[in-house]
Structures are given as structure tokens and as C-alpha cells.
Amino acid sequence: MTQLVDQPVAATATDQPAPSRLGGPVTAVAVAIGCAVLGVAVLAVTVTLGLPLLAPVVAALVLAVPLLLVRPVLFVVLVGVVEAGNLSGVGAVNGLPGGESALLALAVVAAVLAWLRGHIRPAWSPFLSVAVLYVVVQTIAVLTAQDVDTAFVAVAVTAKAMVWPVVLVVLLLAPGRGPQALARAFALTLAALAALTVVQEFVVGNDTTFAGLSTVPLAADLGGATARHAGPQDDANFWGRVLVLGFPFALSLAQMATSRWRRTLWLCAALAIFGGVVLTGSRGGLLALFVVLCFWALLAGGAALKALVLAPLGIGLALMLPGVGSRLLTLNTLGVGGLEVTDPSLEGRIAAQTSAFQMVVDHPVLGVGPGNFLLTTPDYLRRLGLDSLPLAPHNLYLEAAAEGGLLGLLAWLLLVGAAALVALRARHFARAGGSAMGQAAPLPLANAVLAALLGWSVASIFLHMATLRSFLLVAALGAALDIRARRRAAELRRERGIATDAVALDLVRPRSRPGRALRWAAAGLATLLLVLAATLWTAGGRPGTVQTVTTDMQLVVKFESDSESPSYDLDTLSRTGLVRTLAGIATSDRFEEEGLRRATELGVFVDSVTIESSASVDSGLITVTASGPDAGAATVVAFEVRAAAVEFVNTLSPLYGALPVAGEPLVKPAPEPAFDRRIALVPLALGGLLVLGLAVDLAQDGLRRRRVARGRAR
């Protein structure tokens, strides 16, 4: 790859603030006076409420606001510390609710003031556009929600979370080393809290939670050697996923370190994070950590890449650690020949994921609605005959598909893909620019963002949605690196008058004929996959043999007479109008519902049983057919439906009625479908990914053309 010439460059717009739009000293003094007044008010209120120890802390934070507002980089550091330590949640536990909302409001104010003072030149990112699209899709999915109020609350929480990356991207565009400061604050806070869990386990014996900064929700778990630590989170698994996000940043900061003691510091931070993940007992976190380490080494290259040959030895040593190998070995309770689950945690997860998959089958487009998974799960557990308590799906992708349908799953994949795309582009610019890129977008930070996103994605195979803001913080860092790198490359091109980096050459290179052919081939393949998915869904059926049980009842004359014409008295065959009326009554849906209710009262599982009633006017014969996977349950339902119909018809008239036909019911197994219709989800997902790739490719092509047009205009 061609690199920019490594030579000193003059200060540019990236390093120098633009002219101020707002009087700097006057604004700073006004903000300081206002915050001081607010600090005194908070001090008085907290003392009045009987919280004298919290009052100085709150007052100090409020009085520090002026410095944070005039120095965006310091505010970015504060955001990184608060998010990594979940300090808003910890504050709520200690009597200070609303910390996250207050911090968000202050972040917005800081961004606006920095823009007005000319310190920031805002820019948009493709990731932010996809974030808006994700919220729109979630809002549309509310239309199918069982509980609309719950769905709206879930969408509101997601929309509020999506404000964070917008604000962070703006703040990170301030001159200086904002991305490096955010990475340091995030990784160092996680390392400190992970070390605190080690101290709590081996020094203080888990006797305290350190004011909520180191919780221990489980004293032990299957295969674990210690208690399961959740840090400042409520769940150890979620804490493990957050730690995985910070691990590659510690490695990249060690790679960027300019002195031996700093490199040692960050390597110790990475080791502390590793120990924190082990103490969470999260199997998904341990697997994701290994994936992150290997992927980061591939991106970093050099000595880190060469060290991958030692990966098998490292895996062996890690598996020998107490609580690592033994914890991972509990996964073998999932039998190869079937789901012979003995771990209660795995058993509940399998039941929840089975329910989630069935929700996707029943509601493939928009799902059951945001936040409605747990509300809908009990019904699916009964239908599927699963003996388990309602749990979250413990799979973010299944959760997205269950609550938002395939459209919601595609929106989430777009969100993650956009975050990875902008980080990958930042890495491309950083590699092309070399040392001339300076501190605008360091290559190791782009590597860390990509590795962290992969780690989050892998860990999310075992976890549902939570700690979304931590993911968005990393994604926002990648988006900011992308903008800063592109701006720096544009400055260098303007200074030298030529496009010297590989990316600039790519912008002016016309699309090749093989490239166009590949695009058309991908479009054709996507079309074929979507057509195949529709065909498979239409032609397939649900798996499992269906047992069909048939039983009959006969319309008869109840009138008894000594008449010389008994054949006339017994005649129902010529009274077609009468037979049609009685048959219509006997085949009413009300008897199907009553029969199901009676069978349920007898303890029969009837959710998977379907009923169909038909009648013959010529013979006066009424047939009840019940179908289901269990012949015994279907038989009970058929008999109860017939009994309910016979009882009601016999109350209508003293002359005419119905009698059950004697004999055993006819039981016939229906043939299984040729294949399970749910296999159609595979080509549907592949086709959707191809469509996504084509959309990204077209967007990039349009971006190239606009840049070339702007370059020619100059």
C-alpha cells in the first residue's frame, strides 16, 4: 500500500480551532458563575435531605462543570469513566438517580458550546445515519406489539441511547487527542474495576460491594472455581461483555506507548481485564476474549502476529486455570444427539431461544414488538411444551429477530456493519497516511475498535441486549476516527496538490469491468436466494408427524310412536333443510372451544391440537377431526368436542337430536412435510446480507463520485 511521505507538516485545521463564534472569556465566566450558583443550591438541597457526605461530592462535580464545558476532551474522559464504571447505575443505587440523563444533557451543552466557540467543526457519519434507521425500524415494529406501552418505552430507551454517539462524535472532533483520551479512560477504568474484583475475591472475601462498584450476584456456579463477579453491573455476563470491549484498547495503548513503564502499565491493565473476565464466569465472555486477542494480533501485525503461533500453547495454559477450563467444559452437557441439558442455566437458555425462534416463524416480518419478548414467552413455552421459567433469549440476534422480525435483525446487522465499516475505513486511511496522519486517527485505535466490535458480536451470541451505551461508545469512537482521518487526508492532499495516498487514488480510479460483473452477479444471486426462500417457506411445513383422529355423530329422530308408518317417523334423510340446520349448529366453533376447555381441565396439553368439523347432508353424519403430534391428546379433544355438540343439539328439540357413533376413533398419521419450512430462513438471511453488501457498495460508490466531483471543482 502506498504511504504518504513521512515529513513534518504545518499545523492544520485539525489541530487549530476555528475562529470563535462566541465570546470566550465572557462565556466562560458566565458559565462558571451559573454553575457556582447551581453548586451552592445542590449543596443546600443535599444537606436538607440528610445526605451531608454526598453533598460535597455533588457540589464538587457541579463546580467542575465549567472546566468540562470549555474543555471538550475532559468531558470525553468523564463520559468514558462514567460509562465504563456504570457510575449512573451505581449512583442510583446510592441515592443519586438520573445521573445518565444529567450527563447526557451536559454533554449536549458541552458540544454546542464547543461549536459556538469555534473549537469543533461538526460532521456526520454513515454510522449515525444507520443508527437513525435502526430507531425507525424499532418504531415500526411497535405496530405488531402485544403491549404497545411496553414497546414504546423500549423504543424511547433505544432512541435516547442513540443520542450518545451523536454527541460523542461531535466532542471527539475537537482539536487534540480526544480519541486517545477516551480510549485511555475507558480501558483504565475497566482495568481498575476488574482489579477491584480480584481484590474482593482474594483479599476481602466478597464481604462488601464497594458501594456497588463490585457486586457478586452469584456465590458459585457449575464449573466455576470462585464466586461470579459482576463489577458495577447487575449481571456477571454483561460485565464480561463490557470487559471484552475494553481488552483490545489496553493492548493497542500498550502498542502506542512511548516508554517502557507505560507499555508495562497497559499490559498490566490488559492482564487485569483478563482476570476480570475469568472472575465473571461468563463462558461467552471467555470465548469472545480469545477471538478478540487473535483478531487484534492479525490487525496489529508485527510481533503480535508472529506471537499467534503460540496461540495453542496459550489456550492450553488458559484452560488449566481454575474457573476457565472447568467452566467451558460445562458446555458439553449439550448432547450431540439431542438437547440433553443438565445445566439449569443452559436449559433455560435453550428453552428461551427455542421460543424466540418460533416467534420468528410466527411473526417473520416485524416480530412480536420491542420489549415484548418476555411478555410473549410464557405462551410459547406452553405451546412448545417446555418446562422452564420465562427468560430473556440470551442471544442478541434471536432477540432482534423475535422482537423486530427479520427487518429488525437486518437493522441491527446494518448498525454493527456500519460501525465496522467506518472503523475499517479509518484504518485504511491511517495505514495509507502513515506517520503523516499524526495523532488525528492512530492506526492502533482503529484496530482496537474493530477487535472490540468483533468481541461484542461474538459475546452477543450468548447474551441479549444490555449495556448498549458501551457498544455505542466504541462505535462512536470508530466513527470519529473515520472523520478525523478523512479530514487529515484531505488536508495533506491540499498541501501537496496531488493525491498521494492509496485511498485518494482509489477515489479517482474508475470501477473495473470485473467489479461491475461482480456487482451484477451478487444482485442476481441475492434475487435467487430470496425467491428460493419464498419457495421453501410455501412448500415446506412444520416438522414432526401429525396424528389425525376422526370420530362421528349421527343426526337421528327421538320421536317414538305406535304409528303404522315408522319409516316416516324415522325419516331425516328427506328433510334436508332440517339436517342442514342441525349440522350447521353441531359444527359451530363454540363446541371446538368448549372441547378444548374440557380437555384442558382433564390435564391434556391441547395448544398444538387443531380441530375441523364437517357434515354430510345426505347421510346426516357429522365428523370431528382433531390433529396434533400426540394421538392421545387429539383423541381426547375429538371426543370432548363431539360430546359438547351432542349435548347441545339434544336440548334443542324433543323430536330430533344426535347420537355418537359407536366404535373406536380412526387414528391416521399424516405424512411429515418434505422439509421444515424454517429452513427458508437460511437463504433469506444470506440474501439479506447480499442486499446489505450491495447497498453499502452503492453508497461507497456514490461517496467516491461526490468526492471526485468536489476535487475537480477545486
Q: 447551581: which residue's cell? A: 38
pLDDT at 117: 78
* Range scoring the smallest mean pLDDT among 122-131, 479-488, 521-530: 521-530
Structure confidence by residue, pLDDT tens digits, 188-216: 989 988 888 888 877 877 777 777 777 87
Domain-located, residue 660? yes
Residue 425, pLDDT > 80, answer yes
- What's the pLDDT at 96? 67
Mean predicted confidence (pLDDT) in 393-411:
84
Pairing mode, if any, of strands 666-670 and 621-628? unpaired
Confidence of residue 450 (pLDDT cuts 50, 70, 90): very high
- Strand 656-660 to strand 546-557: parallel, antiparallel, or no bridges (unpaired)? antiparallel
Whether residue 551 sits in one domain with residue 522: no
pLDDT tier, 27 (very low <50, low <70, confident <90, very high otherwise)? low
Residue-level pLDDT at 176 = 80
Does one domain contain both 492 and 384?
A: yes
Establish if 344 belongs to a structural domain.
Answer: no
Beta bridge partners of 670: 546
Tens-place pLDDT, residues 348-357: 677 777 778 7
Q: Which of 64-68, 371-375, 427-431 has the lowest mean pLDDT?
A: 64-68
Q: Are residues 299 and 369 in the same domain?
A: no
154 in the same domain as 187: no
Whether residue 163 is predicted with pLDDT greater than 80 in this model: the reply is: yes
213 and 329 part of one domain = yes
- The arithmetic mean of pLDDT across residues 214-237, rounded, is 71
**Per residue in 229-243, pLDDT tens?**
777 888 888 888 899
| pLDDT confidence tier of residue 372, bands split at 50, 70 and 90 | confident
Q: For residue 614, what is the enclosing H or E element?
A: strand 610-616
Mean pLDDT of the chain: 74
Would you call 624 helix, strand, or coil by DSSP?
strand
User: Any idea which residue has 456477571 for its cell?
Assistant: 236
pLDDT at 2 over 80: no
- The CATH code of the domain that includes 627 is 3.30.70.600
Is 341 part of a structural domain of the chain?
A: no
How high is the pLDDT of residue 72?
Answer: 77
Residue 340 lies in a domain: no
User: How many other CB atoms are there within 10 angstroms of residue 46's CB atom?
Assistant: 20
Query: Residues 525, 603: one domain?
Result: no
Give yes or no for residue 177 having a pLDDT over 50: yes
Asked whether the beta carbons of 142 and 148 are under 8 A apart, the reply is yes
For residues 189 and 84, is the Cβ–Cβ distance under 8 A? Answer: yes
Residue 343 in domain: no
What are the residues facing 77 on neighbouring strands?
A: none
The reply to whether 191 and 282 lie within a common domain is yes
315-319, 435-439, 481-485: least confidently modelled range: 315-319
If you average pLDDT over residues 361-381, what whole number do you get?
Answer: 80
In this structure, the answer to whether residues 305 and 400 fall within a common structural domain is: no
254-297 pLDDT, tens per residue?
A: 988 888 888 899 899 999 998 888 888 777 788 888 888 888 88
133 is a domain residue: yes
Determine the structural domain holding residue 611 and report its residue range: 546-670
Neighbours of 226 (CB within 10 A): 20
**569 in the same domain as 528:** no
- The answer to whether residue 438 is domain-embedded is yes
* DSSP conformation letters of 663-684: SPPEEEEEPPPSSBGGGGHHHH
Domain count, the chain: 5
Domain assignment present for 244: yes
Task: Give per-residue pLDDT as tens, 550-606.
Answer: 888 887 776 555 545 444 454 555 666 777 777 788 888 888 888 888 888 887 777
Same domain, 490 and 531: no
User: What's the pLDDT score for residue 475?
Assistant: 92
Which tops the pLDDT comparison, 688 or 112?
A: 112
- CB atoms under 10 Å from CB of 89, counted, come to 18
Top mean pLDDT of 148-157, 206-215, 650-659 is at: 148-157
pLDDT in the model for residue 318? 61
415 and 527 both lie in a single domain: no
- Verify that 450 and 569 share a domain, yes or no: no
DSSP state string for 313-358 = HHHHHHHHSTTTHHHHGGGGGS-SSS-----HHHHHHHHHHHHHHH
The position carrying cell 406501552 is 149
Q: What is the pLDDT of residue 474?
A: 92
**Is pLDDT of 79 > 70?**
yes
Who has greater pLDDT, 10 or 119?
Answer: 119
**Which pLDDT value is given to residue 589?**
80
